[in-house]
Amino acid sequence: MSPQPTPRPGLLRIPGPGLTSVNIRFAPLSARPDFAPGTWPQQALTASASFAGWWEFDLDALQLADAVYEYEFVVNGSTIVPDPYAAHLTRFGGYRGLFTISGGVRIDEPFTWDGEFVAGASLPQNNQIVIYEMPVKWMASDPGENAPLVELGTFDKVLFEHLEDLEAMGVNCIELLPIEDSPQTLNWGYGTRFFFAPDYDIGTPVDAKFFIKTCHQRGIRVFLDVVMNMYAPECPLGALASSWFSQAPTANRQNWGQVLFLYDTPAYADYYAAREFLCEMAEFWIAEYHVDGYRIDDFADINNWDFVQEFHDRATARSQGLFPAKPFLVVAEDSDGRFVTTSNDPDNPNGRKVIDAIWNFGYMYEIRRLLTNSINTTYGQPSRTERVQHLISNWGVWNDWNHSFDPGFSDMSCSVPYITSHDVAGAPRLMNVLLGPMLSAAGLGDGGVDNVRSAVDSVGANPAANPTLTAMVSQALQQCCAGFAILMTSVGVPMFLAGEEFGDVHDLSITDVNQKQQDPVQWARAGYANNAQLLAAVTALIQLRTSHPALQRDEVECFYFHPQFDGDNAARVFGYCRTANFPLGSPGQVIVIANMGPQSYPVYNIPAWPWPGAALTEIGYPNAPPVWDPEAGTLTLSLGAFSARVFKT
């Protein structure tokens, strides 16, 4: 038996090895007009007889009047500490937990999940999802001001201003940047203070539950991004039981200004306090909030595969036990790209997989090289052709550090490929990457953040004012669409950052540690004419990815490369097919023809076309339809610079 969770809500239990006394003080919220915590009556916790180093108190024995109460602990006679297991917070002269008394006993806060799932419908499986990475705090901006400031997005902002649009776009999975309470009001939240409560600034537990319930009603899964390498210095665990939970920084683990969790040393006997705390956290959010998966932040610095495997196993078992028909996925942010963690490798703990999937960092770097024609090859190393083949498949992408291919993955649901994530310092928004150099080369500015922002907004406000600039912005947006086309048709579970769907750009510095986190999506840009065209094309590509069976399997075959594709200054045209495990030329396949070079081709011939005479439906930007020549056996089509055309048979 574990000290947490306790058998009923009214039995409070907190860690406190070495403490001499722990008292609880509380008052009804209705007494807030006479707020004076120092005068609240105190009740003493007792040292647990069952669990060494723990303190406990039975609220139910007090038979309190029915009400909502705020509470905190007084440690060693003077130190005020909130409950690290608090599930609902209040803020007034500090943070405290809330508990609800009904019928004289503590109860969980009421919430009904009735109607969560639409009859006859189910949530998408792991191989069917497109992940929308959402910093909730970025989901509010003033369209009247277009101001580059965080206006603090909340659950209700997302619910009532964006969720319908996301559903219409075809998004069927939302990955929330950390929503567990953090002292970082404006930043992303990668430093958790309370692991069992939603962030006070973005909504209440009921808000969060209603958000997830509504997502499920719309067929959208919800993943939580969780921080387990470290905790915020303000977290109560440090004041209560630092020796159990905290580890000093080491050469193998970065703490990013936070406090490292202790994984390697048991608190007592065989009880590992930090491991157990975080596994309980995972089980809690599954049971109480019905989350559909986790993204583990900073897997490399956690540096403990035994713990992560236990976290994965317990979270998965809890989800399957409570919701047998509901899919679940645990994804790790592993900057080292170790897909071995997703397989039953004999060198893994217990010879089993550690997690289900990892963010594919290698894909992010390589597709950016592809989209900017900067894949550089060296004699004796793999060719450009081979690198493209690896990029779009499950063979393992190029590693520019060791100049070889990383090991691949066995199933598409093991990989989360992406072009842009929230961490923009080393990989900015795609429009900045593409438009910035264009502006600089044309002598229209330095290509920096302010220059790109000004160009996009001026064209959005008046496209006719500067035809040259308008054409440049339009070209960059179409190149963004090419990136989406390749991302949505590569093998893996694609992900993109909020705002990329319409080509949003940075408004603040991407290198300043605070400004890069306080740069919300500027939703007004989605209404600019050229940006709206990109959004329409991306919507079609997302809907193709979530609905077409060929894109939900692992098979891919490259059927064409320009004869000089591997040359230094040659054409960059190639074609591939998601075959659905049928021979090339079969119906029900998805075809991509891409030109990742600066030269445009008003007329381009693909010889030995595998789908002779087959009707093709194009997805994406509108183009003149290709022409099949039965005598020559060629398909003729136009290819713009840095473009990708997607067809289904």
pLDDT tens digits along 444-481? 999 999 999 999 999 999 999 999 999 999 999 999 99
Which residues, 6 or more positions from 646, have their beta carbon under 8 angstroms from its beta carbon?
485, 488, 489, 541, 544, 590, 591, 592, 618, 619, 620
Q: What is the mean pLDDT of residues 487-496?
A: 98
Q: What is the largest CA-CA distance in the chain?
A: 94
Domain extent, residue 400, equals 361-416
* pLDDT confidence tier of residue 143, bands split at 50, 70 and 90: low
Q: Report phi then psi at 57, rounded to 5.
A: -155, 140
Straight-line distance from the first to the last Cα atom of the chain, in angstroms, rounded to the nearest whole number = 58
Q: Are 167 and 533 in contact (CB under 8 A)?
A: no
The stretch 588-604 carries a mean pLDDT of 98
Task: Report whether 504 contacts 431 (CB < 8 A).
Answer: yes
Written as one letter, the residue type at 421 is S
Is 354 domain-assigned?
Answer: no
The pLDDT score that the predictor gives to residue 121 is 87
pLDDT at 125 over 70: yes
Domain boundary among 416, 436, 458: 416
Is pLDDT at 236 greater than 90 in this prediction?
Answer: yes
Instruction: Work out the pLDDT band at 497, boundaries 50, 70, 90.
Output: very high
Q: Is the separation of the CB atoms in 257 and 263 below 8 Å?
A: no
Q: How many CA atoms lie within 13 A of 59 on its CB side?
A: 30
Task: Check if the beta carbon of residue 455 is closer than 8 Å to that of residue 421.
Answer: no
Q: In 3-state terms, what secondary structure has residue 350?
A: helix
Q: Is the pLDDT of residue 150 over 60?
A: no
Question: Which of 107, 136, 160 is at the close of a domain?
Answer: 107
- Whether the predicted pLDDT of 325 surpasses 80: yes
Asked if 76 contacts 23 with a C-beta cutoff of 8 angstroms, the reply is no
pLDDT of residue 386: 97
Query: Which pLDDT score is estimated for 580?
Result: 98
Mean pLDDT of 572-583: 98
CA distance 45 to 59: 10
CATH of the domain at 22: 2.60.40.10
Q: CB-based burial of residue 325 (10 Å sphere; 0-12 exposed, 13-18 middle, 19+ buried)?
A: exposed
- Residue 44, in any domain of the structure: yes
Contact 121, 432 (CB under 8 A): no
- The single residue listed with the structure tokens 């020559």 is 632
Last residue of a domain, one of 416, 443, 458: 416
Give the three-state DSSP class for 560: strand
> Buried (b) or exposed (e) across 333-356, using 16+ Cβ within 10 A?
bbeebbbbbbbebeebbeeebbbb
495 versus 184: the higher-pLDDT residue is: 495
Checking if the pLDDT of 141 tops 80, the result is no
Residue 463: the pLDDT is 95
pLDDT in tens, 240-251: 999 999 999 888
Q: Is the pLDDT of residue 151 over 80?
A: no
Average pLDDT, the chain: 96
* pLDDT score, position 186: 83
3-class SS at 5? coil
Calpha distance 635→420 (Å, rounded): 33
Mean pLDDT of the 178-192 span: 93
Nearest to 11 by CA among 51, 41, 39: 51
Report how far residue 538's alpha carbon sits from residue 419's, in angstroms, rounded to the nearest whole number: 14
Amino acid at 487: L
Nearest Cα residue to 194 out of 40, 75, 72: 72
Is residue 589 assigned to a domain? yes
In the block, tokens 């900057």 appear at: 335
Residues in the chain: 649
| 368 within domain boundaries | yes
> Average pLDDT for residues 53-76, to the nearest whole number?
98
**Given this model, what pLDDT does residue 124 score?**
98
| Predicted pLDDT of residue 635 | 97
Q: Is 629 helix (H, G, I), strand (E, B) or coil?
A: strand
Within-domain flag for 558: yes
Compute, in degrees rounded to 10, the torsion defined by CA atoms 543, 547, 549, 552: 70
User: Tell me: the pLDDT tens digits for 304-313?
Assistant: 999 999 999 9
> Which residue, among 449, 620, 524, 594, has the nearest Cα to 147 in the 3D structure?
524
Instruction: Tell me, yes or no, whether 430 lies in a domain.
Output: no
User: 355: phi > 0 → left, psi -120 to 50 → alpha, else beta; which?
Assistant: beta
Instruction: Supply the pLDDT for residue 147.
Output: 55
Could you tell me if residue 43 is inside a domain?
A: yes
Indicate whether 245 belongs to any domain.
no
Domain count along the chain: 3
Return the number of other C-beta atoms located less than 10 Å from residue 511's C-beta. Answer: 11
Sign of the four-CA dihedral 319, 325, 326, 329? positive
Mean pLDDT for the stretch of residues 260-269: 95
